[in-house]
Amino acid sequence: MSQIPIRSKLPDVGTTIFTVMSGLANQYNAINLGQGFPDYEMSEELMNKVSEVMKKGWNQYVPMQGYMPLRESIAEKIGFLYQTKIFPDSQITITPGGTYAIYTALTTILQPGDEVIVFEPGYDSYIPNIEINGAIPVLINLKFPGYEIDWDEVRKKISPKTKAIILNSPHNPTGSVISEKDIKELRSVVAGTSIFIISDEVYEHLIFDGLEHMSILRYPDLLERSFVCFSFGKTYNCTGWKLGYCISSPESMIEFRKVHQFNCFCCHTPSQVALAEFLKNKEAYLSLSHIMQEKRDYFIELMKQTKFDLLTSHGSYFIGAKYDRISNEGDKDFAIRITKELGVAAIPVSAFYRNGTDNRVLRFCFCKKKETLEAAAERLAGIR
């Protein structure tokens, strides 16, 4: 029997760079500073809570929108952090991860031929999410080396077909963050339009140097046209849980849930029940920035023994590193070489550009144990 051909909806998409580099890391027994996940355990208290609620029988479906006490805890947290009132019944939906929330938001609003402004380098799911919905990504490079948004360029790229702008702060892969000035510019750009905002805020609690997270949730006029996406995995060091949530206006959330209910319907019940109580512990998320900044600063200090030049990172798990003083190789070739020769895996930042823009920068993930960072830096110091 001959194979039935499939007309690919993503003909330009292959295996992600994360899979490639993690595969090489496993093959060469390398220290993996590529993919964004911690190598230390999550909260024992939270793990125990999940186990407890499973034993108490919380193992069946919860409502499609998510476990109500969890949505109430999220709304309470938003009020505390951002002084914004969110209605848990009509504005919050629990999702299987932040990436899913972004995909569902885009699928909710996009029609074939719509345009979406995407900043690069950018998280690798954005463009495929747009294209699988028959829409068109309109790409704008962030200004190197600080990776700031060029708002004049944004204005030039706005067209009658512009349906949405995707924002990500703190930013993956660069660690840049948006400022009050960016919010002012954003307001100016979308005023009087029907443009939606997709705000990827999965690293909201990983922001450094005394900066405030400029969440879209702070601004009711922007929230009414936004889908704001979050991740419990990034907050509580449990990326394998694949649990997050999306917040929008009541009217937009109605349409979001129409898509959501026929995709996953609902998420892992025991985790939601445990998180509903755990989220009330403010210190568990308020302490995260300090903890992760300590790791960033320690990695920066360790890397002074190498010939890498680290760029600025004000948030996330990640920091960029230029290697001009070491090699003129393209970043992908260089990343593969140091994985094989030195046993340290990183991600080439050109992989986060559709056109492969190569500034000779690698992305290192520093959400690791001290001994992991020490071993990686020692190996990287030995490069020739």
Residue 139 shares a structural domain with residue 270: yes
Query: Residue 118 falls within a domain, yes or no?
Result: yes
Question: Which of 247, 281, 315 is the last residue before a domain boundary?
Answer: 281
Residue 374 shares a structural domain with residue 240: no
pLDDT at res. 12? 85
Whether residue 14 has pLDDT greater than 90 = no
Query: Residue 167 falls within a domain, yes or no?
Result: yes
Q: Given pLDDT bands bounded at 50, 70 and 90, which one contains residue 3? A: confident
What value does the mean pLDDT take over residues 157-180?
98
pLDDT at res. 246? 98
Least confident of 29-43, 221-235, 309-323: 29-43
Q: Given pLDDT bands bounded at 50, 70 and 90, which one contains residue 37? A: confident
Residue 191 shares a structural domain with residue 309: no
What value does the mean pLDDT take over residues 140-155?
98
Say whether 319 sits in a helix, a strand or coil: strand
3-state SS record for 248-267: ECHHHHHHHHHHHHCCCCCC
Residue 133 shares a structural domain with residue 237: yes
Q: Given pLDDT bands bounded at 50, 70 and 90, which one contains residue 168? A: very high
Residue 333 belongs to domain with CATH number: 3.90.1150.10
Query: Residue 119 falls within a domain, yes or no?
Result: yes
What value does the mean pLDDT take over residues 193-218?
97
Question: Which of 232, 264, 281 is the last residue before a domain boundary?
Answer: 281
Residue 114 shares a structural domain with residue 28: no
Whether residue 384 has pLDDT greater than 80 = no
Query: pLDDT for 274-308, tens place per residue?
Result: 999 999 999 999 999 999 999 999 999 999 999 99
Which residue range(s) make up the domain with 320?
A: 17-42+286-380
Task: Read off the tokens for 149.
Answer: 């948004």
Query: Residue 51 falls within a domain, yes or no?
Result: no
Query: Residue 153 falls within a domain, yes or no?
Result: yes
Q: Given pLDDT bands bounded at 50, 70 and 90, which one contains residue 1? A: low
Kindly list the distances between the CA atom of residue 303 and the CA atoms of 34, 295, 328, 342, 375, in Å, as whole numbers in the listed order. 16, 12, 20, 15, 11
What value does the mean pLDDT take over residues 220-234?
97
Question: Which of 281, 299, 321 is the last residue before a domain boundary?
Answer: 281
Residue 253 shares a structural domain with residue 143: yes
Sequence-distant (≥ 6) Cβ neighbours of residue 192 within 8 angstroms:
none
Asked if 203 contacts 315 with a C-beta cutoff of 8 angstroms, the reply is yes
Task: Read off the tokens for 86.
Answer: 């969110």
- Dist. CA 197–CA 226, nearest whole Å: 4
Mean confidence (pLDDT) of the chain: 96
Say what percent of the chain tops pLDDT 90: 94
Residue 91 shares a structural domain with residue 210: yes
Asked if 295 contacts 373 with a C-beta cutoff of 8 angstroms, the reply is yes
Residue 172 belongs to domain with CATH number: 3.40.640.10
Residue 38 shares a structural domain with residue 79: no
Q: Given pLDDT bands bounded at 50, 70 and 90, which one contains residue 63? A: very high
Residue 252 shares a structural domain with residue 349: no
Residue 87 shares a structural domain with residue 227: yes
Residue 205 shares a structural domain with residue 292: no
What value does the mean pLDDT take over residues 317-321?
97
Query: Residue 231 falls within a domain, yes or no?
Result: yes
Helices H, strands E: what count in the chain? 16, 13
What value does the mean pLDDT take over residues 92-109?
98
Query: Residue 6 falls within a domain, yes or no?
Result: no
Whether residue 19 has pLDDT greater than 90 = no
Query: Residue 49 falls within a domain, yes or no?
Result: no
* Total of domains in the chain: 2
Kindly list the distances between the CA atom of residue 44 and the CA atoms of 47, 50, 56, 205, 372, in Å, as whole numbers in the listed order. 5, 10, 18, 19, 21
pLDDT at res. 382? 92
User: What global pTM score does this model have?
Assistant: 0.96
Say what percent of the chain tops pLDDT 70: 100
Residue 21 shares a structural domain with residue 72: no
Q: Which helix (H) or strand (E) holds 196?
A: strand 196-200
